[in-house]
Amino acid sequence: MSQPQRRRAVFTAALAVFGLPTSACRGPVVSVDDAVVGGGASARLAAVVEYEPAWGLRKNAEGIPVGFFIDGREIGRAKTDEEGLAALERKVAPGVTHFEARAESAAGPARATGRVFRWEADRVIIAVDIDHTLARTDYDSLIRPDEEENSGTLKHSAATLRDLAGNFHILYLTGRPRMLLDKTRAWLRERGYPDGPVITSRGLREMLRPGAFKTRELRRLRSQWPTLRIGVGDKASDAEAYGANGMLTLIIARERESRFGFHALVFRDWKELARFIADNRRILADPVALEAALDGKTPLAWTLPRYRAD
C-alpha cells in the first residue's frame, strides 16, 4: 500500500471512529474477546458492540445491553461503556470451549461467538506481534472488509510457534484495530499457527500509537498472568513495551539497531530465534529460572550466527 493510500485508510477510519459522516450504518456488530480460564474456573468474558457503516468501518455503541451465554443459557448481562465494551467475570465449567455474546439495540440484534482457552498458571506465556513479525503484511487485502487477507508468512515462524506451544502458552498481541479481529484469527488459523488468544487495539488512537497501547495492555495482562515474561516483535515500539514490563525481549530484524535498546536480543530470522530458544528451553520454560535469568543471576546460552553477506 502506498503512503497516500495509507493516509486515506487512516482518514476514513478516523471518520468512523469519531462518528463523522461516512455512509449509512447497517446496524450493530459484535466482536468477542477470547477468554482465558486459569487456575480457578472464572474468566473475563468481554464483547464490543459497534455500528458498521456500509464499507465495513465501525463506530462504538454505548449503553447497549449484552447478554453472555454458554450452551444457550444466559450466565450474565452487562451494558457497553463509552468504548462499546461490555465485560463481566464468570465461572466457566470444565469442558466449555466457546461462549456467545448477544446484543440488542434499536438498530437490531447482533451476536458473536468467542473461544475459551484453559491455561496452566505456572506455564510461561509468550506474547507475539503479527505484522512483520509473523506476517509479510499485504495491507491492500487486509483492510478490505470483503476480501481475504493475502499476507504471506515469515519463514519458519509457524513451525517455531507450533513447537513452542508444547511448552509455552502463546498470546497474539497486535496493533491492528478490532475491526480486523476475525480476519486476523482466520489468517492465523489458515497459515497453521497454534491456537491462542488474539488481542487487538481498540481504535484509531491505539492503532496509531502501538507502543503505548502494548505497554499498557501488557501491564494489565501481567497483573492477571505473572508468567507473561517473553515477547517477540520486530519494531522498536515492541521492544519498548516488552522491556517496560520486565519481559525477555526477542526481536526479528535484519540488523541490530540502537533503537531496540540494550535489553533486546535481535535475531535475523525465526530460524535463529528458534535455535536460541532450543538452547535455553529448560530455563525459558521454567518461570522461576526465567526470573533468575531476567535478573541477571542465570546466564543464557547464545549461539553465534555465521557471517552472511547481504
The pTM assigned to this predicted structure is 0.85
Cell 522461576 belongs to residue: 288
Residue 121 grid coordinates: 498458571
Residue 36 and residue 50: Cα distance in Å, rounded?
23
Residue 87 and residue 70: Cα distance in Å, rounded?
15
Boundaries of every domain in the chain: 24-118, 125-294
Class of domain 125-294: alpha beta
**Average pLDDT by stretches of 10, the chain with 310 residues:** 47 43 63 86 88 62 93 95 91 92 86 93 96 92 83 96 97 90 94 95 68 91 94 95 96 84 93 96 97 94 68
CATH for the 24-118 domain, from 3.60.60.10, 2.60.40.10, 3.40.50.12780, 3.50.50.60? 2.60.40.10
HSE-CB of 271 using CA atoms within 13 angstroms: 5
Task: Give the pLDDT of residue 204.
Answer: 60
Task: Give the pLDDT of residue 310.
Answer: 54
Q: What does the DSSP 8-state code read for residue 234? A: S
Residue 120 grid coordinates: 496452566
Q: How many CB atoms lie within 10 A of CB 216?
A: 15
